[in-house]
Structure 1
């Protein structure tokens, strides 16, 4: 198997997603691949009930952290982890669909995501990004244990 040429990693600005960024950056550095950091975001809606009940998973209902700030912080972590060729993408949309589009647009051969949501009630009700991308990605998927 040849080394990966383009690695896409998804981040939502959470500490766990930044762990996935760091792992993806190390893989990209080891193989000399381009790292593409992708952040999907949803428009903000005020929904304090969802925020109170879902905590850090509320972004799936009420919007996202500012995407430009998220990819900037992720880029800093990727550089610290050794990646040298880095691109960033912020796109409005649901995380799994956005990651699939970024993978296709960049002809990526590896998609990296964290495992948050795989075994949670919220993940079962609202959907889990790692599960969705693993089912539908047209490329290799690495689900990093970040929790």
Structure 2
């Protein structure tokens, strides 16, 4: 951070609309509210697919990442719902963005564009051998982030 204050100025959190990710959004909202920071809620999405067969192929290719939002309209709905959750948790200044691309790339891009100083991610995908071997959104984002990362315990 460029100033000497310890408070965060801009907090970025990602959501895919799942209950787990909305718990991370609520925590990010509370942190942003306590710091009087701007909260930027991001949702990464894949371009819409025209038919069910193509969607099924996309889900097969994504495997456990099939929770990724497909289409910009669902992504807009997702961030609108998340903004309500963040406001209820204490965030006073909230902006939302829907970004086409993979979750990690989209989050890191938003952090850079917004000059954020905190990235909040849920811990979904961190547990288990598959997460350790293949990586996950929170692990990848944490490893590659140039700013502080808060990993929120959002899963059972």
Please, what TM-score do these two structures have when normalized by structure 2? 0.82
Q: CA RMSD in A?
A: 2.4
Q: Give the corresponding residue for 1:67.
A: 75
> CA separation of 1:49/1:12 partners in 2, compared to 1, >3 Å: closer, same or farther?
closer
Q: Give the corresponding residue for 1:109.
A: 117
Please, what TM-score do these two structures have when normalized by structure 1? 0.87
Q: Secondary structure at the match of 1:4?
A: coil
In structure 1, stretches of 5+ residues that fail to align are none
Q: Give the corresponding residue for 2:90.
A: 82
Runs of 4+ off more than 4 Å: 48-51
Q: Give the corresponding residue for 1:47.
A: 56
1:94-143 per-residue CA deviation (whole Å, 9 max, x = no partner) reads: 00010000000000000001000011455457641100011100100001
Q: Give the corresponding residue for 2:10.
A: 6
Q: Give the corresponding residue for 1:23.
A: 27
In structure 2, stretches of 5+ residues that fail to align are none
